[in-house]
Amino acid sequence: MKHCLKVLICASTEGEIAGIKPSDTVDTLVTGVGYFSTVYNLTKRLLLHEYCLVFAVGIAGDYRLDNPVPQMYVVEKARFADTGFEGVKGEFVPLVGSKFMPGNEFPFSNGVIHSHLAQHFAQHFGINMCTANTVNRTRTDREYIDEMLTRFPAEIETMESAALHYVAQLQGVPMIEIRTSSNHVAPKSAEKWKIAEAVEVLNNFLNKQILCQDINDLTKIICQY
């Protein structure tokens, strides 16, 4: 555990943390959308500054079409769901777990990155946990989505989750990822996205439940030490 009194709140876009104000104990970071900018910008920040906790936050797509949105989740597991190559029979072969990248080499376990802080945090604040499939390209056709979920069951889809957990765990920095669903993973013409509502739910939770607490108390709640 890093003995400092500062928290970092990061999101892929400025709008997702528009209601969060930096302070003496809170820094913010806009990582950019997708794997590449997330890995670079979060790594750079963690190398330059010391934080006792990182909160990675943002919106997400919900795979379950009958699930109301917005809804808040704590990410317990994250995986790189579409990073891989075509096998000899034309099948998709995930990179993580192949001969090029072991699936059980830290921070992976069976190809997944687990958050060991998620369960305690979720129970304390009464939030559902989830698995996040992290993708380079979003797609909404049901045949593709059903095929992906057969391989990689998950509740939500993002473009950054696995990258956030990958960097934080390799840097040894405690991190919690909180997502609110803004839409279903379905054709965009099929429903009205609730981005503003999802961001409001997220920012209200952070301001009223997280940032109002003493930093030492917060780390004790989350990290149990």
**CB atoms inside a 10 Å sphere around CB 52:** 21
The residue to which tokens 């069976």 are assigned: 110
Q: What is the dihedral of CA 175, 181, 182, 183, to 10 degrees?
A: 140
Q: Is the pTM above the cut of 0.85? A: yes
Q: Quick: pLDDT tens for 104-117.
A: 999 999 999 999 99
Q: In Å, what is the CA distance from 77 to each residue of 57, 61, 68, 91, 172?
A: 15, 16, 21, 24, 17
| Helix-helix angle 35-48:161-171, to 10 degrees | 30
Quote the number of domains for the chain: 1
pLDDT at res. 32:
96
Q: Give the CATH number of the domain where residue 119 resides.
A: 3.40.50.1580
Residue 225 lies in a domain: no
Q: In Å, what is the CA distance from 130 to each residue of 83, 100, 204?
A: 20, 28, 20
Residue 1 lies in a domain: no
Residue 43 lies in a domain: yes
pLDDT at res. 126:
94
Residue 79 lies in a domain: yes
Confidence check: pLDDT of 225 > 50: no
Q: Which domain holds residue 50?
A: 7-215
